[in-house]
């Protein structure tokens, strides 16, 4: 089991003063019980950012959004977005009889690439999945509509997650991918509660893992691939806005999910799973 070695310890770097008569070798100072290993770990964990992503601004053109959404599709294909979902689906659907149709709600769906992949996965594994993919942005859903084409298993709905046009417990599984990090902790807890309210069996959050290596890696990738200005701005910022494993566990707890766990996936992805028992999270 993974454990954050930092333990909330705060490390400080001593500053030189005017009275210093000679250069001093910097040293770590820390609270009792801390270790050099935890100091190294703290250097790899940046503070969470509250800066806004460009994709969340309502004045973005459809052309700019389309380019950025295609780049996010690439991330989901090659940097574990779909792999995380594929690894979690069998266990999440295990309580549902194979012959029973499964209703899935996906919030903040973007281009609906993952709902589309889920629908194809279901057919390949003898599962009948009906997926309702929700996004608040009309231009984004216009692009998603072109992407899914005539796929009968995916339905697109424009709605605010706070005013969903669905009854409670009307879906077997509620998911979101690369969506939770767009919210501050209060908003994230609200999102998790909404997901749990609409789920009969489970919720799944598929998101990034905040880490400096992830931050610098996506900086390099976005430049090597000559990604769009929006992606070069938003992708590293998404890493800085993402939650750490323990933070995600705390959010699940605050949302009232008692049967919960967080699983790390390479590279720098987190899956948060919450079971809903008898209509009660």
Give the CATH number for residue 128.
3.40.50.150
pLDDT for 121 beyond 70: yes
- Digit-coded pLDDT (tens) for 146-203: 999 999 999 999 999 999 999 999 999 999 999 999 999 999 999 999 999 999 999 9
Q: What is the pLDDT of residues 221-268, one digit of tens each?
A: 999 999 999 999 999 999 999 999 999 999 999 999 989 999 999 999
What pLDDT is attached to residue 258? 83
With respect to residue 62, please indicate whether it lies within any of the assigned structural domains.
no
Q: What SS3 state is found at 184?
A: coil
Strands of the sheet with 199-208, listed across from one edge? 154-158, 129-135, 102-107, 171-177, 199-208, 269-275, 259-265
227 occurs within a structural domain: no
235 part of a folded domain: no
Within a domain: residue 174? yes
Contact 129, 106 (CB under 8 A): no
Rounded to whole angstroms, the Cα distance separating 205 from 192 reads 9
Of 133, 176, 147, residue with least CA distance to 66? 147
Range of the domain at 269: 76-208+243-275
State whether residue 8 is helix, strand or coil. Answer: coil
- How big is the chain by its Cα radius of gyration, in Å? 21
Question: H helices of the chain, where?
Answer: 36-43, 62-78, 81-93, 113-124, 138-148, 185-198, 212-224, 229-241, 245-254
Domain membership flag for residue 19: no
Residue 121 within a domain: yes
* pLDDT over 50 (residue 113): yes
Q: What is the pLDDT of residues 53-108, one digit of tens each?
A: 999 999 999 999 999 999 999 999 999 999 999 999 999 999 999 999 999 999 99
The torsion angles phi and psi of 10, rounded to 5 degrees, stand at -105, 130
Taking the model in full, what pTM does it have?
Answer: 0.84
Cα separation values, 96 from 91, 93, 103, 219, 242, Å:
10, 5, 11, 41, 31
111 SS3 class: coil
Residue 276: pLDDT band with limits 50, 70, 90: confident
223 domain-assigned: no
DSSP track, 20-55:
--S------B--TT--HHHHHHHHT-PPPP-PPPGG
Please state, in angstroms and rounded to a whole number, the distance separating the CA atoms of residues 134 and 136: 7
Domain for residue 4, yes or no?
no
User: What integer pLDDT is reported at residue 43 of this predicted model?
Assistant: 84
Total number of domains constituting the chain: 1
CA distance 249 to 252: 5
């Amino acid at each position: 089991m993974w454990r954050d070695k930092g333990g909330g310890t705060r490390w400080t770097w001593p500053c030189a003063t005017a009275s210093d008569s000679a250069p001093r070798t910097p040293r770590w100072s820390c609270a009792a019980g801390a270790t050099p290993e935890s100091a190294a770990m703290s250097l790899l964990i940046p503070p969470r950012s509250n800066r806004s992503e460009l994709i969340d601004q309502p004045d973005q053109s459809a052309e700019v959004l389309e380019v950025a959404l295609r780049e996010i599709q690439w991330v989901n294909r090659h940097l574990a977005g779909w792999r995380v979902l594929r690894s979690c689906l069998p266990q999440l659907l295990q309580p549902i009889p194979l012959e029973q149709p499964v209703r899935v709600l996906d919030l903040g769906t973007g281009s609906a690439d993952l709902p589309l992949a889920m629908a194809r996965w279901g057919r390949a594994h003898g599962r009948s999945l009906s997926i309702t993919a929700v996004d608040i942005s009309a231009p984004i859903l216009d692009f998603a509509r072109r992407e899914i084409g005539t796929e009968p298993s995916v339905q697109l709905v424009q709605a605010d997650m706070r005013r969903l046009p669905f009854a409670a417990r009307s879906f077997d599984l509620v998911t979101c991918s690369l969506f939770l990090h767009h919210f501050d902790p209060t908003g994230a807890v609200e999102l998790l509660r909404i997901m749990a309210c609409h789920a009969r069996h489970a919720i799944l959050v598929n998101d990034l893992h905040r880490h400096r290596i992830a931050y610098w890696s996506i900086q390099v990738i976005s430049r090597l691939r000559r990604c769009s200005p929006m992606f070069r701005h938003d992708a590293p910022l998404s890493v800085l806005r993402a939650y750490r494993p323990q933070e995600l566990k705390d959010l699940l707890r605050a949302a009232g999910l008692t049967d919960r766990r967080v699983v790390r996936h390479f590279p720098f992805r987190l899956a948060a799973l919450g079971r809903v028992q008898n209509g009660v999270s």
